[in-house]
Chains A and B, each alone.
Chain A
Amino acid sequence: MLNLQGVHTFYGPIEALRGVTLDVAKGEIVTLIGANGAGKSTLLMTICGRPRAAEGSIRFDGEDITREETFSIIRRGIAQAPEGRRIFARLTVFENLQIGATVADPGHFASDIEKVFTLFPILRKRRDQRGGTLSGGEQQMLSIGRALMGRPRLLLLDEPSLGLAPMIVKQIFAAIAEINRAQGLTVLLVEQNAYHALRLAHRGYVMQTGRIVLSGSGAELLANPEVRAAYLEGGVHA
């Protein structure tokens, strides 16, 4: 469904992606792990054309989207809950969800927002509150909800567990698994919480300074000594 071939991305003189090749098949949950500054967020943003890949190609459903405008990439059925959440602070929770539905068929709005409220009941309570007044965790839920409102076929999640209580993290991961199972939603998940992410994902990639250095099934990566040493040791694997 998504295919990256030798993608290079620059921020001015800084080369953040140094030839990334990666595949995500329809219906899969794929996770991307790696140290701070490895280029994970850059990879998700490059898929959406911000910043644009300087070299290489990005294909979605077999079509080349490397040079496409961001809004039209999103219209193809890709949504992202980006790093830092980026909630529209002066729009209400409801308006944030409405704006998430920009590319969706308006006929689905009522039932879609109901699903988001069922997934994150706190958002229903905060419905008319401005996004900027939500707690960090609530903003994270809103960010995921906003992405889901676009009815994506491919969901890009950048550290959805960041700043959330373990209970909520469990709930979010369960929700991702459920949406993936029930609706066949394809997910590319960037996570610091490598243990949970690898348990959840069908496959995973490990990134290091702009390159993919390892890949395999979730179970394989979990068992890999290098991965354990770098991303799992010392963590709480509840």
Chain B
Amino acid sequence: MEYFLQQAINGLTLGAIYGLVAIGYTMVYGIIGMINFAHGEIYMIGAFIAVIGFTILSMLGISSVPFAILIVLIVAILFTSVYGWAVERIAYRPLRGSFRLAPLISAIGMSIFLQNYVQVLQGARVKPIQPIVTGGLTLMSSSHFTVSLSYIQILIILTTVVLMVGFSLLITRTALGRAQRACEQDLTMASLVGINVDRTISLTFVIGAGLAAVAGVMVTLYYGVIDFYIGFQAGIKAFAAAVLGGIGSLPGAMLGGLLIGLVEAFWSAYFTIEYKDLATFSILILVLIFRPTGLLGRPEVEKV
């Protein structure tokens, strides 16, 4: 029981990170109907900015942890926003309206470029940082097992909840969110009511990048080590999360992220860590067989 609870906590934490990245996939898919294959790299860049940022801040002698995290988050979001914006401008916009495979290939190219770019700048070695958020709460303790919830896990889960609530409000309540939903449904009509479609699409990439940056910072704090390859690994998982939840659906991305995090945690705990990806993708395939549009995806039946 204690062991189970501990895995649930670990899975939720991991799932929160996948969920944040998955939102970027699902939003971009929603608005332009294409997968942003460079999105995982944006998350990786967020993590690298975190490593560099925390290192610089500690050299400057900044000792307040909340302040350091805040500064790093802001810097990471700013930088990755620019990368997200650039990905759209370079890999997607020039190819909008051409055959569907073209932007996909250019995005994969962009992804390889970003990976190599970080590798050249930062080296291929694993980057560690000093633990920044330490300690935690002991939830339960029996003679042979202790269930703990570390402060960093609390931070990750809280940040994710706050971002997801804020983000849902943005989509459902604001003019920008309405414009995004309109663009998702009919780009031409959206422009006919006076929406700046290009800007709305850019902002969608930028917002997705910002959320991925937060996930990158969090994962750096959580694991303490990163390398230039994490973008691909987390990207694939988050993409699977978005598909599992129903690509295009925001609650679906969050749910998919959580489920994949939990599956990974439990599989690694009760079976073997080697095959955790196999487990994740088997579940994805099973769900898609019975619900091809994912758990919360909508079947496309609408009166035109």
Contact = CB atoms under 8 A, between A and B. Distances in A.
Contacts of B175: 98, 102
Query: Interface majority SS on B: helix, strand, loop or mixed?
Result: helix
A95 B195 CA distance: 14
Nearest to A149: B193
Nearest to A49: B191
A70 B187 CA distance: 11
A102 B302 contact: no
Contact of A74 (B182, B185, B194, B303): B194
The 6 lowest CB-CB distance pairs between A and B, nearest first, are A103-B194, A74-B194, A70-B191, A86-B189, A102-B194, A132-B302
A95 B303 contact: no
Contact of B188 (A86, A90, A146): A86
B181 to A, nearest CB: 6
Nearest to A98: B178
A50 B195 CA distance: 14
Contact of A103 (B188, B189, B193, B197): B193
A134 B302 CA distance: 11
Contact of A84 (B181, B185, B191, B304): B304
Interface residues of B, number: 20
Contacts of A82: 189, 192
A50 B179 contact: no
Which of A75, A80, A99, A134 lies at the interface centre, i.e. has the most chain B CB atoms within 10 A of its CB? A99
A70 B192 contact: yes
User: How many A residues touch the partner, as a band?
Assistant: 20 to 34
A65 interface: no
Interface in A74-99: 74-75, 79-80, 82, 84, 86, 88-91, 95, 98-99
Contacts of B185: 88-91
Contacts of A146: 193
20 contacts: A50-B191, A69-B196, A70-B191, A70-B192, A74-B194, A75-B194, A84-B304, A88-B189, A90-B185, A90-B302, A91-B178, A91-B181, A98-B175, A98-B178, A99-B178, A102-B175, A103-B193, A103-B194, A150-B193, A150-B194
